[in-house]
Amino acid sequence: MKIYILEDEINIMKYIISIVDKIPHCEIVGYSDEIAIAKTDIPRLNPDVVLADIELKDGDSFTLFSSMEKIDFQILFVTAFNEFAIKALNIGAVGYLLKPIDENEFKEQLNKCFKKNQEYKVFENQISISKQQYHLENEIAPKLILKCSDFIQIVEMKDIMYCKSDKGYTTFYFQDGSSTMVSKVLKEYESIMPSQTFLRCHQSFLINVNFMKKYFREGILQMKDGYKIPVSDRKKAELMNYFQ
């Protein structure tokens, strides 16, 4: 389990390191005594747990974590002030340790973090296996059921050129020139259509890559039926990777 330490009291930093070094399944990947450094270190080092003092010389760690776009690690606060406990837990911390740090309590908290981390990895693995199994089954029977107001249509996924979302409705466009509208959002279909074939190139469009004809570098994709579809800025790189 990878650990990052944010602490500006050198003696406490050394004490924390000495305890962590005794635990076989824990590894310190970085440490700092400044929030400004931690802000760039943490996303780069990708720790599983951040041990953070709350009040540091250049600010407080509540502000640091609140400013981060993504928190995919566990937070364990270390503080001398009991008043911070509720606030710490309210932002999603695993827990907090009061200074002076009790070694046994510290190890107990780290073991709690380790157990939670292992459970998450098992969950991620199960999701990955399920997704692979779904796509395998979808390759064997690649059909989609479209439930409309007055009929149910069974379609071959390979015949879908692209899907367009508009105000809670999704319209499917097929290679024979026909189309079907259903009263469901595009996201529901995106999650069950194979990602190897269908790409969400824009908030309003899901395309079948087999029907792409031409890509204009300003961010416009032309399909085989001549229809032009916008590509969002954040999806341009993904589309270029496909062309590679």
How far, in Å, CA of 243 to CA of 80, rounded?
55
Does residue 111 lie within any of the structural domains? yes
Q: Mark whether 158 and 127 lie in a shared domain.
A: no
Contact status, residue 81 vs residue 97, Cβ threshold 8 Å: no
Sheet (strand 212-216) strand order? 212-216, 220-223, 228-230
Alpha helices (runs of H) in 61-182, residue ranges in sequence order:
61-67, 85-90, 103-140
Give per-residue pLDDT as tens, 27-47.
999 999 999 999 999 999 989
Domain total for the chain? 2
The three-state secondary structure class of 187 is helix
Nearest to 74 by CA among 145, 127, 1, 20: 1
Do 128 and 152 fall within a single domain?
A: no
Are residues 45 and 116 part of one domain? yes
Q: Is 138 within the bounds of a domain?
A: no
CATH number at residue 76: 3.40.50.2300
What does the pLDDT read at residue 213?
Answer: 92
- The separation between CA 195 and the C-alpha centre of its own chain, rounded to angstroms, equals 16
Amino acid, res. 78 = V
In a domain, 137, yes or no: no
Spatial neighbors of 223 by CB under 8 A, at least 6 apart, are 161, 162, 207, 211, 212, 213, 229
Question: Could you say which of 90, 111, 132 is where a domain stops?
Answer: 132
The verdict on 127 and 148 lying in the same domain is: no
Tokens of 1: 């389990």
Residue 81, amino acid? F
Do 24 and 54 lie in a common domain?
yes
- Cα-based distances in Å from 227 to 122, 146, 167: 44, 22, 20
98 and 31 share one domain: yes
Q: Looking at the structure, do residues 85 and 187 belong to the same domain, yes or no?
A: no
Tens digit of pLDDT per residue, the chain (244 long)? 899 999 988 898 898 899 888 888 889 999 999 999 999 999 999 898 898 888 888 888 888 888 887 778 888 888 776 655 545 555 555 667 778 888 888 888 888 888 877 776 654 555 454 455 545 545 544 788 898 888 999 999 999 999 999 988 999 999 999 999 999 899 888 888 888 889 999 999 999 999 999 999 889 999 999 999 999 988 888 888 777 6
Task: Tell which of 69, 104, 132 closes a domain.
Answer: 132
The CATH number that applies at residue 199 is: 2.40.50.1020
My answer on whether 29 and 121 are in the same domain is yes
Domain final residue, candidates 132, 156, 171? 132
Joined tokens for residue 92: 């999603």
Residue that the structure tokens 């076989």 belong to: 24
- Based on the fold, state whether residues 15 and 47 are members of the same structural domain: yes
- 107 and 13 fall within a common domain: yes
Say if residues 44 and 19 touch (Cβ distance below 8 Å).
no
Same structural domain, 149 and 109: no
Cα(169)–Cα(182) distance, integer angstroms = 6
Amino acid 140: pLDDT: 44
Q: 122 and 29, same structural domain?
A: yes
184-230 pLDDT per residue, tens: 899 888 888 888 889 999 999 999 999 999 999 889 999 999 999 99
Beta partners for 222?
A: 214, 228
Range of the domain at 151: 143-243
What does the DSSP 8-state code read for residue 73? S
- Residue 139 phi, psi (nearest 5): -70, -30
18, 31, 151 from 113: Cα distances, Å? 18, 18, 52
